[in-house]
Structure 1
Amino acid sequence: MYAIIRTGGKQYRVHEGDILNVEKLDAQEGSTIEISEVLAISDDGNNLKVGTPLLEGARVEAEVLKHGKGKKIIVYKYKPKKNYRRKYGHRQPYTQIRITKIIG
């Protein structure tokens, strides 16, 4: 069984037991969260339920494992012949979750 969920402006295909990094969520480590933005649910057969855009009553429960920051990316701005150079880095924060149950 899998579900397609939306969190942090992105969509993920998840199975029970999956571990994934999503945009940072406001939840404590070790707590359980409920994701109610479920776009589609399918059992392993050929039964697929698709919402318009969301499925009513469907939800996904997940456990928050940890919070962290991603790899550093370097942003470099440059304008030729103007002596303009700017270099800075960015590390995107994330929340690592484990999918525990798909209800739908």
Structure 2
Amino acid sequence: MFAIIETGGKQYRVEQGLEFKVELLQADPGAEVNLDKVLLVSDGGQAKIGAPYVEGATVACEVLGHGRGEKIIIFKKKRRNDFHKKTGHRQDYTSLKVKAIQA
């Protein structure tokens, strides 16, 4: 059984027991989070497709912790103008583990 969920403007394919990273959520480590924006639930050959979300479907996840991703370097340069700028960015994330999928 798997589900496709939406959180933080992105879509994720999740199964029970899967650990994955999403955009930062305001939740304490060890807390349980219910994600209710479920786009699709598939159980073997049966699939429920939402319009846009599947009614009554939730994905229960446990918050494992928070962190920051790899540094991304942004380098801008304009040739022959003596202009260059180098900046970086590290995205905050929340690590989740799927406990159950209810459809």
Q: Aligned partner of 1:4: which letter?
A: I
Count of matched residue pairs: 103
Q: Aligned partner of 1:52: which letter?
A: A
RMSD of aligned Cα (Å): 0.6
What CA deviation, in whole Å up to 9, does each residue of 1:2-38 have, x standing for no partner?
1100001111110000000111111111100010000
Using the size of structure 2 for normalisation, the TM-score is 0.97
Gaps of 5+ in 2: none
Q: Partner residue of 2:14? A: 14
Q: Please identify runs of 4+ aligned residues in structure 1 that moved more than 3 A.
A: none
What CA deviation, in whole Å up to 9, does each residue of 1:41-100 have, x standing for no partner?
011x21000001101111001000010001111100111111111101111111000000
Q: Aligned partner of 1:78: which letter?
A: K
Secondary structure of 1:5's counterpart equals: strand
Gaps of 5+ in 1: none
